[in-house]
Every structure is written in C-alpha cells, then in structure tokens.
Amino acid sequence: MPELFKGAGIIPALFLCLPAGAEPRLAMPVDCTLGETCFIQNYMDRDPGPGARDFTCAGLSYDTHKGTDFGLPSLRAMTAGVDVHAAAPGVVRGVRDGMIDRVYTPQDEARIDGRDCGNGVVIQHGDGWETQYCHLMNGTVRVRSGQLVETGDVLGRIGLSGRTQFPHLHISVRHDGEPVDPFTPDGDPAACRTGEARTMWIDDITYQPGAIMAAGFATGVPDYETVKAGAAAVERLARDADALVLWGYAFGGRTGDVMTLRIEGPEGTFFETEQTLEKDQAQFYRAGGKRLRSPLSPGRYSGHIALIRDGTPVSEEVATLIVE
C-alpha cells in the first residue's frame, strides 16, 4: 500500500467538479535543469523479481522502487532552495510537513516510524490517477488538503526528509492504487523501451545512464561528506599550496566504468590518471593529483573529468582554477 498523509481518504466536493478523463500529462516537477543542476538518479523498478532494472533495462533503479528520483548534486544546492511543482492539475488529497531534513541511517528507524516518504503531498487527478511527491524540505509545504492546484503550482522544496540518503524529489504515479512508470505507461515490464515508446511526460526528458554531477579542485583529497555537501571545491589557490587535487562526483557507476582525471596548466599537462570501478555504485567520487615540491606556475588551470563506459564517454565535466 502506498504511504498516505493527513487528509488522505477525504474526497473534497471541489474534486467532483473536475472533469473525469484519461491519464494526466505530466510536466517537469522540479525547478531545475536536467543534466546540469539536477539529475534523475533512480527510475521505477521494472524487474518483477528480486533484481532491479529501469525502463531501458539498465541499472538505474533498485528493488521495488516505485517512482522517479530527481536528485540534486549537493546539500548546498538543497539549502539554496529548489521548488517542487505539481506535475498535473488536480486536488490535494493529503499532506505532511514537520519532519526534519537528515540523511537516513538505520538508527533513524524509530524516528521515521513508517513515514518513509517524509514530508510530502498527494494529488488526485481524476479517473483514478494520482501523483505523490516525497522528501520535501521541512517547513516548505505550501498546499493543504482539499486545495485545487494547477500544473506548475509550487508544492514545496526538495529536501532530505524521510528515508533518503541524498536530497531529491521522489515522484510516484499511480492509477487505481497501482504504480505506473511514466516513462513506459504501456510497456511490458519485461521489455526495454524503444525510442518511439509513449511517455506521460509533456517534455522530452532525456535519459542519462550516469553522469558527473560536480567537479572541482582541492588542496588534498576531500572528505566524501564534504563533496556531497557541495563544499569541497576551491576556485583560487596560492602558488605555495601543499598539493593540487582534482575530484569528480558522479552517479550511476557500473562495474568496469572508467573515470579519467586530467589537469592542464600554463605549462601543459600537470597530472592525469584513470580509475576503474570495481563494482556498481549508485553514487561515488574519485580524486587524483600531486603533492607540490615547488611552487605552482601562476595562471589558469583546467580539470577535465570523464566517465567512460565500454570505451565511450557517458559524461564529461570541466573545472577551472586560478593560481595566484
């Protein structure tokens, strides 16, 4: 059974005025640019067994995942504020607010107490269709049960509430209580989607099989928590720094993927390396660089990072640094 919120089960009289119709057409539910300021990191699990696969038969999902995760690259991006919008018009069936934003650990089980969705909103669209929006930021939910909303109305902001380990919006689509994959509403769970398959999205939401979400320079190998917080990168550096390190933060890593890191400076290539993933990793980062035995040459440095799969770049990113 899907998790419900306060007010759930109450069908407002206003809802009776909405026209019954076919499935809703869904707009982008997050105020961000896919592939730049946000990334779809998990899709609905289309594997009926204990494994997991997304609608392309690739691995961007996990067992029993019933929605789509629009993730942010850092806690700093979350704190800056990213609005969540109603993907289609309807009536708010239920809401929850007041849960804290914190990375979930097993010690939080009692605190979560079955409220895996965290702060969220459920919207009914008519004809048995509804959407659910999870992990909203504490104190940002802007709608109430029974409220009529239009496509694009702000529901709240992306947060870290409920059972989650990174800031994201989890949006679920259901028809008569059953989960529906908006990327393949007509699809056979055992089949892989082709380019001509129909989706429920109004806009073309490009599938990314993995991507570099952030990259930057540092004076040492940064702590992973600092990378995820969005606080690891430096943009200017003194010539007498102890070290020069380039790092990249990515999602969707697969066994055998290669991340390449190369630093170019005023005098040419300063450092380069490639690192191979030994296992699938939903999120990961890699870093490389040099300890400095003499001062750096002043000027502009560029860090080139690529995620390569089967010999083909999946994602590339460039970071810049000024040495003074």
Residue with the two structure tokens 């928590």: 225
Judge contact between 276 and 243, C-beta under 8 A. Answer: no
Q: Which pLDDT score is estimated for 198?
A: 83
Q: Is 7 a member of any domain?
A: no
Residue 57 CA to residue 53 CA, distance in Å, equals 5
Residue 230 CA to residue 77 CA, distance in Å, equals 8
Number of domains composing the chain: 2
Q: Is 2 a member of any domain?
A: no
Are both 168 and 20 inside the same structural domain?
yes
Non-local (6+) Cβ contacts of 196 within 8 A are none
Are both 172 and 234 inside the same structural domain?
no
Q: Is 219 a member of any domain?
A: yes
Cα distance between the two ends of the chain: 59
Q: Which pLDDT score is estimated for 10?
A: 46
Q: Is 234 a member of any domain?
A: yes
Quote the distance between the C-alpha of residue 291 and its chain's center.
34
Q: Which pLDDT score is estimated for 197?
A: 72
Are both 227 and 288 inside the same structural domain?
yes
Are both 172 and 222 inside the same structural domain?
no
Q: Which residues of the chain have pLDDT under 50?
A: 1, 8-18
Are both 147 and 225 inside the same structural domain?
no
Q: Which pLDDT score is estimated for 3?
A: 67
Q: Which pLDDT score is estimated for 14?
A: 44
Q: Is 206 a member of any domain?
A: no
Of the three residues 136, 156, 179, the one that is the final residue of a domain is 179
Give the CATH number, domain containing residue 47: 2.70.70.10
What does pTM read for this prediction? 0.92
Q: Which pLDDT score is estimated for 59?
A: 87
Q: Is 191 a member of any domain?
A: no
Tokens of 228: 């995820």
Are both 46 and 170 inside the same structural domain?
yes
Parent domain of 265: 211-323
Residue-wise pLDDT tens digits, 166-200:
999 999 999 999 999 999 998 776 678 765 678 99
Residue 41 CA to residue 75 CA, distance in Å, equals 15
Q: Is 157 a member of any domain?
A: yes
